[in-house]
Amino acid sequence: QQQVKQSPQSLIVQKGGISIINCAYENTAFDYFPWYQQFPGKGPALLIAIRPDVSEKKEGRFTISFNKSAKQFSLHIMDSQPGDSATYFCAAAFSGGYNKLIFGAGTRLAVHP
Amino acid sequence: GAVVSQHPSWVICKSGTSVKIECRSLDFQATTMFWYRQFPKQSLMLMATSNEGSKATYEQGVEKDKFLINHASLTLSTLTVTSAHPEDSSFYICSARDRPGMSYNEQFFGPGTRLTVL
């Protein structure tokens, strides 16, 4: 119930295309769903996050779509660029306690010019 | 704002020695800090959660006597890997949360420390 399942494991997209990464969770108590971007040898950086009271959030080229009934959320990267090539992690957390983040397995995105 | 630093960025040590990694919140007070371990091409695995002035809470399977965590101030937490062995070689990342009521739930991550045990 604590797991967050992420797919695909790796993704190749052409420059200008749309990158889509999906995540699913089981625990309905989760109420915070962030996405992180990590470059090799660096710590993860928060890209965008959403709460279950909204179905979509957009920040620049990055959009989170959230389906509460299906317990799924996804990251869409519009107009993908070679500089977006990185590993992306979805995560989930719930209120109370220390708000531990439960991470997905990660998706390695390669954007080809 | 919300910058977290780690020191050192990389360290190589001999098997059997101890290594200390520092995690600092530079521009905010971190009531809670988290320590993660990441093996190559894998996700972040939470090792422990520490709150300033209290004992750390370790995740299942993490040896508390091997990975000593100290959170002595609101801006500093340390992870000491005692009697390190080659299997402890990994990328160690810390994160920090600021005071409750601000930046709800958001954790700010450090740049990571690459530990290699020979």
Work out the mean pLDDT of chain B and round it to a whole number. 91
pLDDT at residue B99, rounded to an integer? 62
Looking at residue B113, its pLDDT comes to 98
Q: How many interface pairs between A and B have CB atoms less than 8 angstroms apart? A: 57
- B43 CA to chain A: closest CA distance, Å? 5
pLDDT reported for residue B1: 63
pLDDT of residue B53: 80
How close is the nearest chain B Cα to the Cα of A12, in Å? 16
Q: Which residues contact A110 (CB under 8 A, 6 or more apart)?
A: A10, A11, A12, A13, A85
pLDDT the model gives residue B19: 97
Whether residues A89 and B44 touch (CB distance < 8 A) is answered with yes
Per-residue pLDDT tens digits for B18-64: 999 999 999 888 888 999 999 999 999 999 999 888 889 999 999 99
Which pLDDT value is given to residue A98? 63
Q: Do B46 and A46 touch (CB under 8 A)?
A: no
Cβ neighbours of A36 (radius 10 Å): 24
Q: Is B5 on the interface with A (CB under 8 A)?
A: no
- From chain B, the residues in CB contact with A42 under 8 A are 111-112
Residue B89: pLDDT over 60: yes
Rounded to an integer, the average pLDDT of B92-116 is 82
| Cross-chain residue pair B49–A32, CB shorter than 8 Å | no
Q: For residue B55, what pLDDT is reported? A: 87
CB contact under 8 A, B46 and A44: no
Q: Is the pLDDT of residue B100 over 70?
A: no
pLDDT in tens, chain A (113 residues): 679 999 999 999 999 999 999 999 999 888 889 999 999 999 999 999 998 889 999 999 999 999 999 999 999 999 999 999 999 999 998 766 567 899 999 999 999 99
